Copies of this chain bind each other. A is one copy, B any other.
Amino acid sequence: MDVVGTPRNRVEGVDKVTGAAKYAGDLDIPGTLEARVLRSTHAHARLRSIDVSAALAVPGVEAVLTREDLRDMDPYYGNCLRDRPIVAMERVRHVGEPVAAVAAHGALAAEEAVARIEVEYEELPSVTSLDEALADGAPVLHERAAGSGDFHDVNLSDAREHPNICHHEHIELGDADRGFAQSDEVFEDVFLFPMVCHYSMEPHTTTALVQGRQVTLWSASAHPFLIRSELAKLFGLSMTDVQVVVPYVGGAFGGKSYLKIEPLVVALARKTPGQPVRLQHSVTESMLTARRHSARCHIKTGVKRDGTILAREVKMYLDTGAYADNGPRVVARAVLRVHGAYRCANFRSDSYGIYTNSVPAGSMRSIGGPQSIWPVEAQMDRIAEALGLDPLQYRLRHLLGRDEAIRPNSRGVDGDLREGLNRVAEMVRQAGAPAAGSGTGFAVGITDSEANPVSTAIVRLLNDGDVVVMAGSTEVGQGARTVLSQIVAEELCVPFERVMLRGTDTHTTPFDRSTGASRSTTVMGTAVKFAAADVHRQVKAIAAAQFGVDPERVVLKAGAAWCGEARRDFSEVVSGYFGMPGGELIGRGYVRAGGGISPILPIFWEVGIGGAVVAVDRDTGELAVERYTSVADVGRAINPRQAEGQDEGAAVMAMGHTLFESLVYADGQPLNPNLVDYRVPGFRDIPRTFESCLLENGDGPGPYGAKGMGEGGIIPVAPAICNALAQATGVRIHELPLTPERVWRALRKTNGETA
């Protein structure tokens, strides 16, 4: 292969490093009004009244949006449950929830107006922890009382055990009870995972322009086609009435999935027809818009004395915040992901999404993955220790084999977990013996991809040999444009430099389900491959007719068709076909379950394997990750340079929730939604020795054997570090992040001291 498998600089690299790349907020759309949002300062309150008269009087203010503007429509949306209003209707349910929004000439006027909106709240009791939310008599976030108009049941079971359970998933494989009965030892642990924020460098930004029925959005989004269809539904439009343009996106990580600020911006822009309205969040506002689910995981595992796992039972409570967002899907992933990467025939798992009065939680890089793999892998070490087994060997012995399925009628593991773990161990070993007092830990995670199998693409070969790819994967920094361009170049046999792939515009770009769930390389990659192959076939047939031979005698190579020694550039093939220096060949690619992608789910398993060497400062409790090694089982790295970057990025992101990230609530108030008090990983948090290794066995369902990656790298970090900490100190901490204070207290407790 000429292009696939070779390290390439990203196609938009120069644009990005020179600052020429335009993000949604960089677009200078003439006449744009700036929007600012009035947000709830209460965790839970009834809205008695909203007085916007003073706000409207501020010079430069064009419109103020409140619930009053939504009385003629159903203002609730949500991709799983339609429980979230465009702006607060009867109640606010978390601090930061939009209550009103202002569009004005300039940010100052908008801010001034927001400050002058008078809201009268009637405070209600709130719940900001799982315990509070699930207590008897807890305040209920979403009633189902008839006629409240405040909740739209979509897929919620009527048999909720508690009214604050937003979603519940249950899996039962084999007979867990019998498994436990046959076990020699049973281990029970509870693990706590913190609330963490996505922190994309680009906060949520959307500009909307409403002209008659036409709605145009320029939005930092990973789901433009879903935005199109959902906005069309919400506002009673047709799909071609809604145009969603996505330029470069400055990081998404799930935080820009589905609908986020778009409904609010469109509702506001409807009040200023012909005048675009832009809402650019501050970092704090984005932190108050979406987050990862914090979790409490009860995990109970029964084993034989040799360590064979006979049974596992899990109860995972995921705090989904004030609105469901993508919570139900996170719950649906977590319930299986917590099975772990080991043979365990008897498995009972319940996952719950719980409403609390906090920022809504939704998708975030490997949804439900870190919350699931951490308990499994931390407990694995505890079991090994209890049984006197070497944790590495224990893992190797019980890992799922290639193609081994966790449950019937599902795809088996399409990677080589043993090879991956051995590779990690080997790399850790090669780096030399750890310093005295440090510990080594390993972890393996697999996650059933949530990737939806629907993508379409168009590839066009112009008459000068340039190639245009129309594919709706948004470039969120992951390198999608480069990878998709490589696949097209490979399949159509053109030089990589001749392939152009631009941003998404739902008016011209064909449908793609979404950018997320590590699906772009696998699913959209297959779609562009099909579309390129469609053009390839046409070129071959046309060139064959021009050469006067059968198509099978024609070979395409480096932008030309060859028949023996005879050669015709693609430009000659196309221009010859059309009889002028013009025309173009158009190929299409459709991918759907059973068409290009196996209908057996998951589409692929994402694998993350890590090894950590950790040193601890026993005086301060500060951890130093001396070494971190990640192995990503990618099937085939279309672009090894980018694949490594993705894997490293995932591992570094995980350093955050492992070591210091946590959005903290007290009395319903978020204490640190800002970059001073909430720290995200930076360069100094990168381990001194930091390696990523790509495992390429061509066993993925995507192009050339590729599978999704870039999320898997996040899952083994916390357990590997925890396990290393335990090896170094004997201390097992069941709550993340491993802040110095928490480690210091644990060390003191273990040593019998009082904190």
Known: A238-B466, A464-B229, A468-B507. A590 touches B580 (CB 8 A): no
Any B CB within 8 A of the CB of A298: no
The residue in chain B whose Cβ has the minimal distance to the Cβ of A580 is: B454
CA A14 to CA B213, docked complex, whole Å? 12
Known: A28-B31, A466-B239, A466-B240. A582 touches B508 (CB 8 A): no
Determine how close the nearest CB of chain B comes to the CB of A36; give it in whole angstroms: 22
**Which residues of A from 19 to 47 have beta carbons under 8 Å from B?**
20, 28-31
Determine how close the nearest CB of chain B comes to the CB of A31; give it in whole angstroms: 7
Any B CB within 8 A of the CB of A682: no
Any B CB within 8 A of the CB of A13: no
Any B CB within 8 A of the CB of A644: no
Most buried by B among A462, A513, A577, A585: A462
Any B CB within 8 A of the CB of A463: yes
Determine how close the nearest CB of chain B comes to the CB of A500; give it in whole angstroms: 4
A583 near B588 with CB under 8 A, answer no
The residue in chain B whose Cβ has the minimal distance to the Cβ of A575 is: B454
**Number of A interface residues in the complex (CB < 8 A):** 52
A509 contacts across to B, CB distance below 8 A = 508
Contact of A240 among B462, B507, B513 (CB under 8 A): B462
CA A125 to CA B196, docked complex, whole Å? 81
A460 contacts across to B, CB distance below 8 A = 510
A586 near B583 with CB under 8 A, answer no
A239 near B464 with CB under 8 A, answer yes
The residue in chain B whose Cβ has the minimal distance to the Cβ of A29 is: B30
Any B CB within 8 A of the CB of A584: yes
**Which residues of A from 443 to 462 have beta carbons under 8 Å from B?**
452-454, 456, 458, 460, 462
CA A20 to CA B14, docked complex, whole Å? 37
Determine how close the nearest CB of chain B comes to the CB of A592; give it in whole angstroms: 5
The residue in chain B whose Cβ has the minimal distance to the Cβ of A32 is: B30
Known: A238-B466, A507-B502, A592-B577. A586 touches B458 (CB 8 A): yes
A240 contacts across to B, CB distance below 8 A = 462, 466-468, 498, 500
B464 near A238 with CB under 8 A, answer yes
Any B CB within 8 A of the CB of A612: no
Any B CB within 8 A of the CB of A672: no
Any B CB within 8 A of the CB of A308: no
Determine how close the nearest CB of chain B comes to the CB of A566; give it in whole angstroms: 23
A583 near B579 with CB under 8 A, answer no
Any B CB within 8 A of the CB of A394: no
Any B CB within 8 A of the CB of A186: no
Determine how close the nearest CB of chain B comes to the CB of A211; give it in whole angstroms: 6
A593 near B579 with CB under 8 A, answer yes
B238 near A498 with CB under 8 A, answer yes
CA A460 to CA B225, docked complex, whole Å? 14
Any B CB within 8 A of the CB of A505: yes
Known: A212-B20, A239-B464, A462-B239. A229 touches B454 (CB 8 A): no
A500 contacts across to B, CB distance below 8 A = 240, 507
Any B CB within 8 A of the CB of A614: no
A225 contacts across to B, CB distance below 8 A = 582
B510 near A586 with CB under 8 A, answer yes
A582 near B505 with CB under 8 A, answer no
B20 near A452 with CB under 8 A, answer no
The residue in chain B whose Cβ has the minimal distance to the Cβ of A531 is: B586
- How many copies of the polypeptide does the oligomer hold? 2
Known: A468-B240, A507-B502. A513 touches B580 (CB 8 A): yes
A199 contacts across to B, CB distance below 8 A = none
Any B CB within 8 A of the CB of A492: no
Determine how close the nearest CB of chain B comes to the CB of A250; give it in whole angstroms: 20
**Which residues of A from 570 to 601 have beta carbons under 8 Å from B?**
577-586, 588, 590, 592-594
The residue in chain B whose Cβ has the minimal distance to the Cβ of A27 is: B30
A470 contacts across to B, CB distance below 8 A = 508
Any B CB within 8 A of the CB of A511: yes
Any B CB within 8 A of the CB of A107: no
The residue in chain B whose Cβ has the minimal distance to the Cβ of A453 is: B579
A138 contacts across to B, CB distance below 8 A = none
A585 contacts across to B, CB distance below 8 A = 590
The residue in chain B whose Cβ has the minimal distance to the Cβ of A499 is: B240
CA A524 to CA B586, docked complex, whole Å? 16
**Which residues of A from 521 to 577 have beta carbons under 8 Å from B?**
577
CA A211 to CA B229, docked complex, whole Å? 34
Determine how close the nearest CB of chain B comes to the CB of A658; give it in whole angstroms: 35
CA A463 to CA B225, docked complex, whole Å? 11
A507 contacts across to B, CB distance below 8 A = 468, 500, 502
Contact of A229 among B28, B579, B581 (CB under 8 A): B581
Any B CB within 8 A of the CB of A232: yes
Determine how close the nearest CB of chain B comes to the CB of A463; give it in whole angstroms: 7
Contact of A578 among B14, B454, B579 (CB under 8 A): B454
B586 near A452 with CB under 8 A, answer no
A579 contacts across to B, CB distance below 8 A = 453-454, 592-594
The residue in chain B whose Cβ has the minimal distance to the Cβ of A505 is: B508
A454 contacts across to B, CB distance below 8 A = 578-580, 582-583
CA A452 to CA B582, docked complex, whole Å? 11
A511 near B592 with CB under 8 A, answer no
A211 contacts across to B, CB distance below 8 A = 20
The residue in chain B whose Cβ has the minimal distance to the Cβ of A577 is: B592
Determine how close the nearest CB of chain B comes to the CB of A491; give it in whole angstroms: 17
B577 near A583 with CB under 8 A, answer no
Determine how close the nearest CB of chain B comes to the CB of A663; give it in whole angstroms: 33
CA A513 to CA B30, docked complex, whole Å? 33
CA A578 to CA B460, docked complex, whole Å? 23
Most buried by B among A467, A502, A586: A586
The residue in chain B whose Cβ has the minimal distance to the Cβ of A511 is: B584
Contact of A232 among B464, B588, B592 (CB under 8 A): B464
Contact of A588 among B239, B582, B586 (CB under 8 A): B586
A458 near B458 with CB under 8 A, answer yes
Contact of A583 among B20, B466, B590 (CB under 8 A): B590
A29 contacts across to B, CB distance below 8 A = 30
Determine how close the nearest CB of chain B comes to the CB of A60; give it in whole angstroms: 19
Known: A20-B212, A588-B588. A452 touches B580 (CB 8 A): yes
User: Can you list, as one digit per residue, whether each of A467-481 has a CB less than 8 Å from chain B (1) or not (0)?
Assistant: 110100000000000
| 6 pairs of residues in contact across A and B, judged by CB atoms under 8 Å | A20-B211, A28-B31, A239-B464, A502-B507, A508-B509, A578-B592
Q: Which residues of A contact B (CB under 8 A)?
A: 14, 20, 28-31, 211-212, 225, 229, 232, 238-240, 452-454, 456, 458, 460, 462-464, 466-468, 470, 498, 500, 502, 505, 507-511, 513, 577-586, 588, 590, 592-594
12 more contacts with CB within 8 A, not counting A453-B579, A454-B582, A458-B458, are: A20-B211, A28-B30, A30-B30, A454-B578, A454-B583, A456-B584, A458-B586, A502-B507, A511-B584, A579-B593, A583-B590, A586-B588
